[in-house]
Amino acid sequence: MRKAGDAASVAAALVVIVLFARCAAQLVAYPWDWSPDEGLFLDWGRRLVTDPASLYARSFVPYPAAYGPGLPALLAPFAGLGERMLAGARLLALGWSLVSALAVYVLVKRPAGRVFGIAAAALALAAFDVSFWLMLVRPDGPMITLWLLAAIPLLPSRLESGGDRLTNGRLAAGSLLVLAAVLTKPTAVVHAAPLVLGWLLVDRRSFLRLLLLLSTLGLLSFVLLQLATAGGFLWLQRVWSMHGTQAGLMQLILVHSLGRLWPFAAFAALSGALAFRTTRRARPLLTDGAWLLVLGGAVVVPLLSKYGASWNYLVPMMPALVVLACRWLALALPASAPGLRGAIGPALAATLAIALVLTRPFPLPTALDRRSADAFYAFVKEHTRRSGGPILAMRPELAYFVVGQPVEMEGSTFVRLARHNVAGSERLLHGLREGRYTLLVELHPLPDTGGYLEAKERNYVHAGGCNLSFYFATAAVHLFTRRDLPLYFTPPADTRCGGPAATAAASPLPPP
């Protein structure tokens, strides 16, 4: 009976993982962006091969690699695929998604056994409305994966004095993985901080060695990046100080995230209660090293008020809670327990995973979404072919990618950047005033001060547009052609597009 129970748990877990991979494959087959910023990251990967100096030039035109060199380095090998680069990047995203689940498997397998580890890996992917984020071509997926991988060598066995010690191999592996995560997305500094600081409670010598090695590697990486970019790397980091804060954003994100993450928090609470009832001791629960992962997911909360923050900041909480909950449940229902009792823990995790799969759909584009995007990008390409370009897109940045142009400007933050009069913004204003751009693409509006709108009204006319679907909503994207270019959009039937006279509906939700 025990073997049958374990086999059922493994089978259920594998079904969840296969369903995730199946949904991911559908997204791989979709030829257009599913987040309006994916084109920006593809462009960085392509420019790392064709024009690396432009990634850290002291100008925001073309838009520099603000997040760091990690994702461009991962995407660069796919630059030779042309328009198929997006499919290659999504295959890579499927790879790092499965590796993140593998990291969860290892973190749970150590104290709980192989079967529990497999069930935990499936549970970490099962809430498809959250885990799908790993499949977007953005820095978050690889950063989360590297953070989880860093936890494998860096999580102490017990959060108590003398509970563990870092060997040279663990020290080196953990430090390199943390550094790689930070170079992929700077937010990893916050997520990884508890993995480092936790060693103060366990072994101060290990903490000092880890801090020294991370500081040395970080400083060396910074110096090398400064030298390689002629100082452009540090110059660019000031962009984060221009974002400011947005009133009410933190509360909005927390409510939204609680609505998606509560099953994992409830599962952790149930597991903790069962473990305490079984062991009659709180110490094993409080000293579990997985707390450092949970803290790493939670300490980002103060950043949620930052303009541009979204619920993706709390995605790391999901695998962190899975690891903690499963390790706690293994205390109450250890794999070594006789009979069916040892199979109950993995069965509960696998059952929750199946329940989440049945109730949390993976956001995927529909046939109508594809037809609309087909028509939209076909017009952008044909217009640029006939007019010669260049274009200016206030998102989606894939418009630049499909016409072979570097991303002139990242659309969602340009209003704020223009208010700070950042280097390069004057080039956009002159381009609009002189009619240098032959086509404007607008998901986000141009700044309403500084003469941008006046230049657009004088030189450009509405040419049509489409309501394009992304993971969060369907959003109106307008097209404006230069007045002396009679190239207007005539959308095909059965699309969510309209010609110059059509009025597209506004998106009910703001893009990230």
Residue 393's pLDDT band, with cuts at 50, 70 and 90, is: very high
Helix pair 452-459, 425-434: axis angle to 10 deg:
30
Residue 363's pLDDT band, with cuts at 50, 70 and 90, is: very high
Residue 1's pLDDT band, with cuts at 50, 70 and 90, is: low
- For 355-369, b where at least 16 C-beta lie within 10 A, e where not — what string? ebbeebebbbbeeeb
Q: 486 or 172: whose pLDDT is higher?
A: 172
Q: What is the mean pLDDT of residues 446-455?
A: 94
Residue 280's pLDDT band, with cuts at 50, 70 and 90, is: confident
pLDDT number for residue 357: 98
* Alpha-carbon separation of residue 366 from 29, 363, 387, 402, 468 (angstroms): 12, 10, 31, 21, 11
How many C-alpha atoms does 125 have within 13 Å on its Cβ side?
33
Number of residues assigned to the chain: 512
**Above pLDDT 70, what percent of the chain?**
97
CA–CA separation, 266 and 257 (whole Å): 14
Question: Do strands 474-482 and 497-498 pair parallel, antiparallel, or not at all (unpaired)?
Answer: unpaired
pLDDT number for residue 91: 98
- Is the backbone peptide bond immediately before 346 cis, with ω within 30 degrees of 0? no
